[in-house]
Amino acid sequence: MSFIKTKDGTEIFYKDWGKGQPIVFSHGWPLSADDWDTQMMFFLNHGYRVIAHDRRGHGRSSQTADGHDMDHYADDLATLTAHLDLKNAIHIGHSTGGGEVVHYLARHGESRVAKAVIISAVPPLMVKTAANPGGLPKEVFDGFQAQTAANRSQFYRDVAAGPFYGFNRPGAKVSEAVIQNWWRQGMMGGAKAHYDGIVAFSQTDFTDDLKKINVPVLVMHGDDDQIVPYADAGPLSAKLLKNGTLKTYKGFPHGMPTTEAATINADLLDFIEQKDLRKAG
């Protein structure tokens, strides 16, 4: 298996398959690089180099006690891209990974990056504040932390079987294999990383980060997202980006890269293969 070591000694696991223009995938909480299997196989078969890492404390990476914040997540991603000497890369982030991508671009610059995509992503800000009245109350995330600390196995099972993939909706086609794979990935990681990560994804304000980004960014969000509610996320991020394009999916859930992979993959490929996406003026 492939690992890099960060400056604080954390070992980050990554996959690196194929040749061609690199596509780098950043996963959601509390998952791992495995959550991108469908996308990695799709783009590998379309002639791209595909790369995905396990965030610190997640999957096969070190279960370090510290550093579970967006600064470290972005810095770890920068360490990986520098180690692999990536150029003209496309960065794709889902949920918390969308925040990681946005913070990476704003914090480390765009010299290695051609485009980015954020899917069902947490920016601009999830938690409700005076400046963000449409956010979710902090008590919601406090409850996530309490459940993670008390019995995360049951909590993860409930999230996967319910709101994450919209399996709690009438008429939903529930996949036990998808539920078990979500649970498996979550339980591979460390409880401390996942506990702290809830604060990172819910309380980080990405407003200024979004304003700094110049490369074309596709913002993909389902309007039936029960994890990162649509109205306070996708549309607001697209407005803050200089070259943002919002694509809204009617009835799609938070985990749409898995449940609606054919649609999402086709739209990702279309965006990646477009030549000039910068807005005039």
Q: Report, as residue numbers or ranges, the catalytic residues.
A: 95, 225, 254
Q: Do the bridges between strand 11-17 and strand 49-53 make them parallel or antiparallel, or are there none, so unpaired?
A: antiparallel
**Encoded tokens for 26:** 């950043």
Under a CB-based contact definition with an 8 Å cutoff, are residues 149 and 142 in contact? no
Angle at 194 between CA 264 and CA 126, to 5 degrees: 60
The two beta strands, 22-26 and 11-17, are unpaired
β-bridge mates for residue 49, sequence order: 22
C-alpha to C-alpha distance for 6 and 78, rounded to whole angstroms? 10
Handedness of CA 258, 119, 205, 88 (dihedral sign): positive
Q: How far apart are CA 82 and CA 262, in angstroms?
A: 31
Alpha carbons 143 and 149: distance in angstroms, whole number: 10
Report the C-alpha gap between 167 and 259 in whole angstroms.
10
